[in-house]
Structures are given as C-alpha cells and as structure tokens.
Amino acid sequence: MKNKAINTFSFHQYLPHIILIVFAFAIYCNTLFYDYTLDDLIVIKENSFTKKGVDGLSGIFKYDSFTGFFGTQKTLVAGGRYRPLSIATFALEYAFFDGLNPFFSRLVNIFLYGLTGVVIMIIFRRFRINKPGNKWYLTIPFITALLFIAHPVHTEVVANIKGRDEIFSLLFSLISLWSTLLYLDKKKYSYIFLSGVSFFLALLSKENAIMFVFIIPVTIYFFTKHTLKRTLYSSAILVATAVIFIFIRFLVLGYLNSPQLPKELLNNPFLFATVGQKFGTILFTLGLYLKLLFFPHPLTHDYYPYHIPLIDFTDARSIIPLIIYSGLLIYTIVNFRKKDPISYGILFFMSTLFLVSNLLFSVGTFMNERFIYMPSLGFAFILAYILLTHLPKLVKTEKTASAIIQIVLLLIIIPFTIKTITRNTVWKNDFILFSTDVNVSINSLKCNTSAGGKFLEQAQIDQSAEEKEKHFRMALKYLEKANSIYPYSNNSRVLLGNTLAFYQKDYKGAIDQYMKVLSFDANDKIAYGNLFKVLAMVDDAKETTFKLNIFLNLNKLRPDNLETNSLLGKLYGQHRGNLDSAAYFLINATRLAPENPAAYKDLGIVYGLQKNYTNSLQAFQTALKLDPNDQQTRQNIAVTYSLIEQNRRKTN
C-alpha cells in the first residue's frame, strides 16, 4: 500500500508535465511523416557539413552557418549567421540514421517543444504567483505553458525542422534562468555553472538569446526578494558567457556586424525605402506581430518584399502601433517598482522582440512568424495572469469564476489547436507550402518566385497532359507576377525564361529573360548557361541575325568570355562570310584560352579561306600540338601544305 501511495503521488506530481508533452505531440504529430521543407535544404538536405555526419562537426562550428550549403563563406544577411548547435544535431542525426531522416528530426523538434512548455511551467511555479487552493490546471504556470504550446504562430518553428535553432535558443535560455534561480535559493555553484553552460548553448543556437542577459536579472527583481548585489553577482556569468560567445563569433565571421548591407532586395528589404518609409514599415510590422498573437490568421512563411508594403511614418498603420507600444512602455515604467507581473510580461515581450524588429539592424526581411516565438512567452504569461487573477474579480463567487475561466480557456485553446493542426498540413513539402502561401503573400517577390519554380518542376514530371498544361500555366502566372513586383530578380527571370522555353517553346522570349538577367548581373552562371542551351535550339541558318545580335550583346557584357568569342567567330565565318570579323573573334578566343585546340582549328579554317596559308598552318599546328590525336586537324595540315605548295608553283 505504501508503494502504491508513493507511485500515485508521483503520477499526480508529474501529470501536468506529461499533459504538456502529450499535448505538444497531439497537435504536431501530423507533421511526422512530412518531407524536408524550406530552409531544411540549407541546413540539412544540401548542407555538405551535415551530410558528413560526425566528420562535419568541425566545419559546422568553424564557419558561418551558410557555408555548408554554398561551399564558401558569404555575407548574405546583415550581421552574418553563426548558429552551429542545431546544425550539429542534424549532422549527428544524419550519422546515427545513416542518411536523411525527416521523421526522427521532426520527432525531436516536437519533444523539445513540449519540453520547453514543461520548463516554462516549472520556472513560473517558483514565482508563487498563484492563488492558494487553485487546482493545478487552473494555475498561472500551467496555463502559461499550455497557451504557449497551443499558439499557432509557432507552427513554422516546430513544423520546419530548421526551426530547432529557435526551440534550442529559448529552451536553453530558460534552463539558464531556472539554474540561476536555483543558485540563488540553494547557493550551490554547480547551478551557476549550469546557468553559464546553458546560456552558451542558447547563444550557439541563435544570437537573440543574448537578451536573457537583461531578462534574467529582471526576472529575479520581479519575482524574488534577493538583493541587487546578489542579482548582479548571479548574472555575472551571463555577461562573461556573452563576451566569450561574441569573441568566438568574431573569430568565425571576421566581423561583429556586416560592414555594409547587402545590395539585394531579398536580403535587404529596405533597399529602396526612404528613412520615413523604413521606420513607418517597421512600426507597421510591430503592429502585425500584436495582431498575430491575438488573431493568428492568416499565417504564412513569407513576409518578404512586398507582401509587407512600404508605408510612410505618417501612415495610420504605423501611428497606431506606435501609440500602443508607447502605452505599453509607459504602463511598464509606472508599474515597474510595484513589481507588477503584467509589466514583467511586457518587458519580456518587448525586449526579445527588439533584436528582430529591424530597429537596431536589418534582419533580412520585414518580419517573420518565427521571430515572435520567444516574445510570445511574454504574451502567454500576461494572458494567463489576467485570466486567472483579474477575471475572477468581475464575478461574485469562486465557483462561477472557475467556470468562466475554464470556458474562456476553451474558447482560446480549441481554436488555437484547430488552427495549429490545420496550418501544419502546408508543411508537408515545398510544393504544398509555396502553392498555399502564395495565396496569402500575394505581393511577395520570393513567394511568387518559389511557387512558380515549384509549379515548373511539377509540370516537368507530370504524366498527364492536362496536369502538365495546368502547372505550366500556374508557373507562368506566378513568375510573371514576381517580375512585375521586382524586375531585377535573377532567379525569377531565369525561371520565367525556363518556363517560356519548356512550355510555350518561345525560345526568343526565354532568351530575352536570360539577357535581362545578364544585363544587370553579367556573372550569373545559371542565366548564362541556360541562354546557350536555348540558343542551341534556335536554327542557325534561319536566325543568324538574331543569334549574332545576342552574341554581340553578350560580348559587350562579357568581352573576355571564351564561348561568346568562339561562337561569334563561327557565326561570322559560317553564316555571314565575314572572314575578317570571324578572325578577330577567334583570335580573341585563342588569347583567352591558349590551351584550347578548338579555337585554333576554327582560326586555321578562317585563315585558309582568306588564303593566308602561313597563319592557317601555324594555327593548325598549334591545335595539333594541343590535341595530337585529332585526325581532322592532321588532314587540315596536309591540305594546307598542299595549298602552300600549289601557291608556290603558281608564283614561280
């Protein structure tokens, strides 16, 4: 009986923990059998370090987080990216499962997410802010954790495997907070050591964890009676850890912040904005974050230009959020010394949102739902606190208050749960994600480009002629929309060119798209390669003038390109009979690639047609030296010797 009593007590003690983890699995289990999506390509599927397993760990910690995908360190976004911890876990999973396994990676994400809810509950339990006698399921810690787990705005973080960096960052930051509180209560240095280690892991996950240098002492101030001296002493480890991390990050990236913002719209959304438009738009997005917390619909993975429009500072859509945030700040300042829990929730929300708000530095996009993953904890706490502390004051009896609280909770949790489960379904694969969200992010350059590209891919593998036609049309629609949003996008124009070539057999239209790309980015290898592939489909004899003009324009853009000079030489020689121009471009080709026999062979033929047999023989001999097995060149040399001999006899 005694053992049974102990087991029963233990079960009831951990029942809230179990419920939170089971709840996380219940609302996200429909993602378990989904494919890799979105940024999973960069950090897992096509990341060279990840795919080396354990052997790739050194590269993951040694270089920028984009290096494993691009093969070289690039400054694509302001500040760079150094978030090795989550990528390291992907590499370990790759090694453990002998390859790619999205099921296990998603399983880990869901468990870590549920565990975060448990840690939230444990931490808030220490604050003793509950009304005595409340049942465990009607306490602020449990309701805060439940609201946090249920919130649909977190779907991107959990359903996109790459979102583990966000989960890790908050989870380890909270463990650091918990450890600090334990140290203050129990005075054991092992807890302060654990706090430092946890905080370092949080920073290795995502840099915005650094705000816990501020949040942890503020939390101690609001919910404990420890002195300022004790608070600062316990927080010293956080400052030291942050300094060490910043130093390591500097060694890896070579800078603390990017020397200049990228001159590319998708990584610098304010590229064409005035100062007034920049801050007006930032305030607008801050208002949208609040809207998503209260009413998380519609959701999308894409807030790139110009799904969020540029608006001026004087626009009502920026003025209203400014008034709201100013009011929240004033409320916090007024009630700070009173240690009002709502003020704490506001501080938590605003401080963690600040780093990703674009106010301090550009984060590479206007906004993103994953950016309010950490701040939303402040929102969940405020909502739980108001619901369980202020709502009962409006009714006469505790029984009525309890019933109303439960009804209100159900009215929040049930819609949140339904929205989360249904939103998860779009993360099944990239095709579903892009083709769904493009109907929300209607004016996004990136989403229209991504959707168009996926429809093009789908059309090329469709077996049904009807489906193929349908998907080609959709690709054309979205790619044309992308180019209307921003005409200087390499990717959207290349994909539009591909669609015109494959779908409409409009080779000239496709070539025009590739040429436009090269006109503002002459070094775009994909546009250049696709251009030559499509040009090969155009008949030389019928379209000589068209091809010639294309190659001449290319030559202006890239005068030192071997292929362009070689083809111009052939076109002038074979189809125009302009031997002087042919020789000019072929001489350029031999200069650009002195080890390439093809240009010398063509030059030898042109010299021969000009009856310049001496130079012709020299060109053929050089070609033969470079390729001794070329029998055609040997025959050309023999013919040239014969012509030289005939010419000598005529002269004599």
43-65 burial string, b = 16+ CB within 10 Å, else e? bbbebebbbbbeebbebbbebbb
Is residue 174 within 8 A of residue 120, CB to CB? The reply is yes
Given CATH 1.25.40.10, say whether it is the number of domain 444-524: yes
| Cα–Cα dist 524/528, whole Å | 6
| Cα–Cα dist 303/640, whole Å | 67
Percent of the chain, pLDDT > 90?
79
| Cα–Cα dist 181/217, whole Å | 10
Phi, psi of 356 (to 5 degrees): -105, 15
Identify which of 391-395, 437-441, 499-503, 571-575 has the greatest average pLDDT.
437-441
- Torsional class of 151: left (φ above 0), alpha (ψ -120 to 50), beta (otherwise): beta
Calculate the average pLDDT of the chain: 92
| First-last CA distance in the chain | 128
Residues 6+ apart with CB under 8 A from 431: 454, 455, 457, 458
Structure tokens at 369: 């739902």
- How many of the other CB atoms lie within 10 Å of CB of 525? 8
Q: What is the DSSP letter of 578?
A: -
Structure tokens at 342: 């709502």
Quick: pLDDT tens for 48-80.
Answer: 999 999 999 999 999 998 898 888 766 666 667
Structure tokens at 645: 């001999």
Is residue 331 within 8 A of residue 360, CB to CB? The reply is no
CA trace torsion 108, 109, 114, 118 (10° rounding): 80
Structure tokens at 303: 């807030």
Maximal CA-CA distance, the chain: 128
Q: Which residue has the tokens 């800078």?
A: 255
Overall average pLDDT of the 120-125 stretch: 96
Quick: pLDDT tens for 588-623.
Answer: 999 999 998 999 999 999 999 999 999 999 999 999
pLDDT at 78: 60
- Residue 2: which pLDDT band, with cuts at 50, 70 and 90? very low
Q: What type of residue is 371?
A: F
| Cα–Cα dist 182/199, whole Å | 15
Better-scored residue on pLDDT, 255 or 194: 194
Overall average pLDDT of the 316-345 stretch: 97
Structure tokens at 473: 């049309």
pLDDT at 131: 67
Residues 6+ apart with CB under 8 A from 62: 252
| Cα–Cα dist 265/28, whole Å | 34
Does residue 7 surpass a pLDDT of 60? Answer: no
Q: Which one, of 28, 29, 44, 17, lies nearest residue 99 by Cα?
A: 44
pLDDT at 462: 85
Burial environment of residue 410 by CB neighbours within 10 A (0 to 12, 13 to 18, 19 or more): exposed
Quick: pLDDT tens for 205-242.
Answer: 999 999 999 999 999 999 999 999 999 999 999 999 99
Is residue 213 within 8 A of residue 200, CB to CB? The reply is no
Q: Which one, of 44, 82, 307, lies nearest residue 160 by Cα?
A: 44
Overall average pLDDT of the 85-106 stretch: 95
pTM for the predicted model, two decimal places: 0.90
7-41 burial string, b = 16+ CB within 10 Å, else e? eeeeeeeeebbebbbebbebbbebbeebbbbbbbe
Does residue 10 surpass a pLDDT of 70? Answer: no
3-class DSSP assignment, residue 216: helix
Does residue 162 surpass a pLDDT of 60? Answer: yes
| Cα–Cα dist 95/408, whole Å | 47
Quick: pLDDT tens for 336-368.
Answer: 999 999 999 999 999 999 999 999 888 989 999
Fold of the CATH domain 539-652? 1.25.40
Domain boundaries for CATH 1.25.40.10 within the chain:
444-524, 539-652
Q: Which of 387-391, 460-464, 538-542 has the lowest mean pLDDT?
A: 538-542
Percent of the chain, pLDDT > 70?
95
